[in-house]
Amino acid sequence: MHEHHRYGLTEILYFCAMFSKRLNIILLLAVLLVVGCGKHQKLLKSTDNEAKYAAAIDYYEKKDYYRALQLFQTLINFYQGTEKAEKMQFYYAYCYYHQEDYVLASYYFKRFANNYPRSQYAEEAVFMNAYCYYLDSPPSSLDQTNTYTAINELQLFIDMYPGSARLEEATKLIDQLRAKLQKKDLDVADLYLKMRHYESAIKCYENLLREYPDTDYKEDILFKILQSYYLYAENSIKAKQEERFQAALDSYNEFVYQYPESKYIKEANSMKKSILAYLPAEQSVESEIDNN
């Protein structure tokens, strides 16, 4: 049988008091919200620009960027050419940044830097313009236009402010973006290899090494060049095979020269054995001499 809980008068009064207290808090918050909204709407319609300016700065400092932005929008033209306009336009860009609208934020940071090149905030604005592009850079699988723009803007910042305290951060951000571009190019080359477009894969891998000679993917790329040449030769017509297997052998020699202890060495040696079986005997002997 289920037990039925019986509440005494004391418990009932306690629950009523707690409920009433919570209801009062909710009502108080609702009243404050209505009053706050009403006050903000009055400010937006007000012609007292000094009061609006003070309120906008107050909103900004309290991290209410949405309301600060609304007030700044009504004031910027009025204060054009004044010291207050400079500060407002800088905060205006940051309002978009803090709301994660990086496209508009970068636009207004750049506009600020162009309008106020001698401002105490100019350096920060140039950096933040570039940083917004960095934040808006998509994953490597998507179009990388913003990534290229971010690299260019960060490099512009480095060139403009070589003594900046943000120099190291800007350099690290460029390295991260370049790594993303490398990954994008590597994914394209890998896709060509997977689709058996071996000639296209080889071109992509070799272009990667030319563009990024110090890439962290170098061992993988050199192995995949060998693999692509080998499969390209293996799937070629007989008249083309000797020339293409020779290219595969050259890529094998380059790979083992660079990475004699590679994790791929067993697979590479297996390919070499098959390559030599296709080549004339004198070329096989020459290859053995070269490796020794």
pLDDT at 32: 45
pLDDT at 3: 47
User: 16 vs 230, which has greater pLDDT?
Assistant: 230
Whole-angstrom distance, CA of residue 76 vs CA of residue 6: 66
Token pair 């692509």 is found at 228
Lowest mean pLDDT among 15-24, 246-255, 278-287: 15-24
**Number of other CB atoms surrounding residue 291 within 10 Å:** 11
pLDDT at 216: 92
Token pair of 244, please? Answer: 């293409």
pLDDT at 239: 93
CATH T-level assignment (fold) for domain 196-292: 1.25.40
Contact between 226 and 255 (Cβ < 8 Å): yes
**Number of other CB atoms surrounding residue 140 within 10 Å:** 17
Within 13 Å and on the Cβ side, how many CA atoms surround 139? 2
User: 150 vs 27, which has greater pLDDT?
Assistant: 150
Within 13 Å and on the Cβ side, how many CA atoms surround 218? 14
Is residue 30 scored above 80 in pLDDT?
Answer: no
How does 226-236 read in b/e, with b if 16+ C-beta sit within 10 Å? bbbbbbbbbee
pLDDT at 1: 47
| pLDDT band, very low/low/confident/very high, at 229 (cuts 50, 70, 90) | very high
Whole-angstrom distance, CA of residue 200 vs CA of residue 188: 10
pLDDT at 254: 97
Distances (CA, A) of 244 to 31, 137, 189, 209: 80, 40, 19, 20
Distances (CA, A) of 133 to 104, 149, 169, 209, 214: 10, 7, 15, 26, 25
Whole-angstrom distance, CA of residue 66 vs CA of residue 37: 12
DSSP states of 8-50 as a string? -HHHHHHHHHHHHHHHHHHHHHHHHHHHHHHHHHHHHH-S-HH
Is residue 291 scored above 70 in pLDDT?
Answer: no
Tens of pLDDT, residues 241-280: 999 999 999 999 999 999 999 999 999 999 999 999 999 8
Provide the residue ranges of all domains of the chain, joining segments of one domain with +: 196-292
Is residue 24 scored above 90 in pLDDT?
Answer: no
| pLDDT band, very low/low/confident/very high, at 230 (cuts 50, 70, 90) | very high
Tens of pLDDT, residues 32-47: 444 445 677 777 666 6
User: How much is the average pLDDT of 132-155?
Assistant: 96
User: 41 vs 6, which has greater pLDDT?
Assistant: 41
DSSP, collapsed to helix, strand or coil, labels residue 117 as coil
pLDDT at 187: 96
Burial (CB count <10 Å: 0-12, 13-18, 19+), residue 177: buried
